[in-house]
Chains A and B, each alone.
Chain A
């Protein structure tokens, strides 16, 4: 009885954690979407009269080296960083899942070939490949996304492949095959819905990593380039005068840390909940 109660209390706690993290994530996304309306000033307007102005009522986060409102740029930066991250995770999710399902369901040569490619990608640290690819492609959003996406699909592919291989042997898949259903139909109607949950959990945990990647590349000048507001490039731009105007580095850095923390926490909470569910 006691054990039962403690398990249910634990599940309740886990549920509250997910709700709290989801609420924080929704707030962040809402802020990103409403950034133009929430920004107190024009994030791109330079003003030589207020260069590196300390936080005040008109500029709550102060101004940067070109006299631009840091708060407005942080808000607009949320839009850029979150939108690019979500888009990149979504594209990697779709491509990786499709490859994983094909490999896991059909097996054979296509599986050998694509999984060896994935192995090669996984043999190097993600950021090293990303820096190399982004360096070759030059700066810009497209270059940064390609650089990170080139390795990111492998996680989704490996996960969906292993699940597809397990599910392929299930009697209901065998029955669907025997009743004449095609491979794509079985993958779409029977396998994909069953692997969606672990894949989505994985996608949640990837958001924080991707955000670090995007901001990291931008910080190195290989990602989103100024004047477009993006947290990594804002930190990079302002680090030279960190001693004179620390707020220009501090606030985009805090925004980055907070966002990554929220999405990582959400991913961990969902994963923990799933693990507990599997063991009850």
Chain B
């Protein structure tokens, strides 16, 4: 039986006084891919932040255990050793992920060194290539403000890949990318999952991605996980009306309504 990497039980969390997550339970095992789908403001990203510790999300109830240890009880040192090496994060906002005026090389070097790894330009070039970024040497000299949001996002994905975490948290990773690049990134994440056994907890509003990648799909609404089942079950026989509505709302292209099994974005071709 695969080892449990992340266990969330009855989690409630808030930003200041505002409750944003209520009674969330979820478990991610080694090598598993779970996608959390929901509309904007449903609490998907907050769930990832609660695990990762960004943005000071306050856990008000329940527990998060990562690699067997309770995250909320961890010291900064323990949390630091967990992040990057064991848990990686690809954030939603590529512009905010990097210091806009510091060259990528300095930032990637610092990130690697923070996690006790050596910065290897050749390995970095391979990771860049994997996400569709050519001329890694030239790119490493550039500053984030000189690149588009999509390019920054791809560098962020490459950086997360370089650290080879056992659990990767992906927050709307393809939202800033064009369809072709999004497809390439998804294939790379799948390859990472296949070859390195990296478990992926991905937050997305794109059902096509969830359908293609996920073993399990969770549906979130108003800070609650209203449905969490095997992907086939969710896509074919959802229990909740909201899930059925989400499947019905999959973008209609060229005037032709597409079913939940067939979704937009060119990401369905396995």
Contact = CB atoms under 8 A, between A and B. Distances in A.
Interface string A171-205: 11011001111000000011001100000000000
Contact of B99 (A172, A178, A180): A172
Interface in A39-84: none
Contacts of B111: 175, 179
Contacts of B54: 171, 174-175, 178
Nearest to B97: A171
A194 B95 CA distance: 14
Contacts of B128: none
Interface residues of B, number: 24
Interface string B197-214: 000000000000000000
A190 B96 contact: no
B97 A193 contact: no
A193 B114 CA distance: 21
A178 B79 contact: yes
B98 A172 contact: yes
B141 interface: no
A240 B92 CA distance: 70
A190 B79 CA distance: 22
A39 B79 CA distance: 67
B97 A172 contact: yes
B162 to A, nearest CB: 14
B149 to A, nearest CB: 14
Interface string B69-105: 0000000110110011000000101001111111000
A16 B107 CA distance: 35
B160 to A, nearest CB: 11
Contacts of B80: 178-180
A226 B57 CA distance: 64
Contact of A178 (B83, B93, B100): B83
Interface of A: 169-172, 174-175, 178-181, 189-190, 193-194
18 contacts: A169-B55, A171-B96, A171-B97, A172-B98, A174-B54, A174-B55, A178-B80, A178-B83, A179-B83, A179-B111, A179-B115, A180-B76, A181-B114, A189-B99, A189-B102, A190-B102, A193-B99, A193-B101
Given A171-B91, A175-B97, A180-B77, 6 more contacts: A170-B96, A171-B54, A172-B99, A179-B111, A179-B114, A189-B102
